[in-house]
Amino acid sequence: MQDNVFILSLSGEININSLTETRNQVEESGVECQERVVIDLEKVSFFDSSGLGYLIVLIKQIRMNRGLVALCNPNNLVRRLLSTIRIERYIGIYDSLDEAIELGLQPG
């Protein structure tokens, strides 16, 4: 937690092979019930289609519980993958954690 913001740090390759472990870790964190969430992608090296699909589901779950959510720190490859699915139309992607907290978690 930082400034009443739940920071979810993902790491490694988020793909079909690692998805069960990633999902279990995320569910144990209780992130879906948080009001303000930043998903930190700094340590994520790659997403495949399964991983991207899970990220979208996670964002939707947080929002369904009336939470605000933003993404931060994607490397160039991850940013390109996110841009390919045009996720920036629906969620802010920021270069730093501080920027995501300041700009990405504003209501409305």
Tokens read off for 94: 């920021």
The domain that contains 61 carries what CATH number? Answer: 3.30.750.24
3 state SS of 105: coil
Specify the pLDDT at position 1: 58
Q: pLDDT, tens digit, for every residue of 25-71?
A: 999 998 888 899 999 999 999 999 999 999 999 999 999 999 899 99
Q: Could you tell me if 40 and 73 are in contact, meaning their C-beta atoms sit under 8 angstroms apart? A: yes
Give strand pairing partners of 7. Answer: 38
Specify the pLDDT at position 62: 92
| Any domain includes 83 | yes
Q: Which domain holds residue 87?
A: 6-104
Residue 102 binned pLDDT confidence (cut-offs 50, 70, 90): confident
Q: pLDDT, tens digit, for every residue of 4-27?
A: 899 999 999 999 999 999 999 999
Structural domains of the chain, count:
1
